[in-house]
A = this chain, B = another copy of it.
């Protein structure tokens, strides 16, 4: 809380800047649009029992072996990692396949940021797929909020910032903002016009990289708002649907 009586809303543009923010007692939203947080949201809405985010491939394999009815997933450079069963695409985890299963997922950026956050009140997962339901929750939470962009190997990226801007635009009336990252993200979202987000992102590093791997459909899916209206929340080491 601050002088205005409203809680604080801030945006962290890269995990390498996380130390500048006070996460104690804060609701932290992890954002990795292409594709970790989109995939987590889709898998849970499609019936996954839980998603366990892990940092390394060996850890992913080991955990997959020890949990009944689990599947392991992870990509590096657009390909399924040897030893794992599936990739990072949200399109892979349809209801008839994922329902009731535990997804053990390793990703490069989103997982890392999630594990870096300390002493938060709550850690949530944000993506365009759950934009409105997430904003509804944040508006009413009454706590300081930090939107954390997973970025790409610590480098600022367009898509995570654009999503942060969408959230800021939606919830700003309930918060006090004194954070230029939040202002810039909001400005970027305004510039995008708010629809045809993928078109706005067509000249971005991740668009070039992932469309080069033939993942055009993933990019479209991950920029379609509100397909999966659930909020993943970290509970212990697992992500589950926020009740």
Interface residues of A (CB under 8 A from B): 13-14, 16-17, 20, 152-158, 161, 178-181, 183-184, 187-188, 190-191, 203-206, 208
Contacts and interface: CB of A to CB of B under 8 A. Distances in A.
A125 to B, nearest CB: 22
- Work out how many copies of this chain go into the complex: 2
Contacts of A206: 180
Given A13-B13, A16-B17, A191-B191, A184 B156 contact: yes
A153 B180 CA distance: 13
Nearest to A153: B20
Given A180-B157, A183-B203, A16 B13 contact: no
A11 B44 CA distance: 37
Contacts of A13: 13, 156
Smallest CB-CB A-B distances: 7 pairs:
A156-B181, A158-B180, A157-B180, A180-B205, A191-B191, A156-B180, A180-B204
Interface SS, A side: helix
Nearest to A187: B191
B191 A20 contact: no
A153 B161 CA distance: 21
5 contacts: A14-B17, A16-B20, A155-B180, A155-B181, A156-B180
Nearest to A204: B180
A17 B204 contact: no
